[in-house]
Amino acid sequence: MARLKLEFPEDQYCFSTQLTVRVTDINGANHLGNDSMISMISEARARFLYEFGVRETEGDGTGIIVTDLATTYRAEAHARDQLLFEVGVMDFNKYGGDVIFRITRPHDGTLIAMAKSGFVFFNYRHKEVVPMPDDFRGKFPRVNWID
């Protein structure tokens, strides 16, 4: 199987936040576990959306749903490491796009991981994918579009 290679344009990152690796995030190999990294990516995504005034679910039942997640690991992180999550969006289409992440350890500049999370807008009441709202698209005018 071919290895994943995630690389993103520098100009797509528009938000950053720091998270601390907790002792409970450490696995049997004594480094940050995959399950905890996914939780940290989800937290960074939630902070990003909040910063841009995007609610995960609106009153009409429309919200954002994650469709996929790809993560590549470059280095280990350990308990009490401060990690910087740089977040952005790219590859918009009619229904959604990708949230991208670059995770580094600022203390020594080490790249820990890269990740991409696909999303679509979804009406939970009608159980169907719906077009991306204009107000969401307007928050990110520099994002490239794909068909």
- pLDDT score of 20: 98
pLDDT digits (tens, 9 = 90+) for 104-118: 999 999 999 999 999
- pLDDT score of 59: 74
Q: What is the pTM of this model?
A: 0.93
Return the CATH fold of 11-135.
Thiol Ester Dehydrase; Chain A (3.10.129)
DSSP 62-105: EEEEEEEEEEEE-S---TT-EEEEEEEEE-B-SSEEEEEEEEEE
Between 15 and 2, where is the model more confident? 15
- What's the mean per-residue pLDDT of the chain? 94
Listed by start position, the domains of the chain span 11-135
- pLDDT score of 2: 76
Of the chain, the percentage scoring pLDDT greater than 90 comes to 86
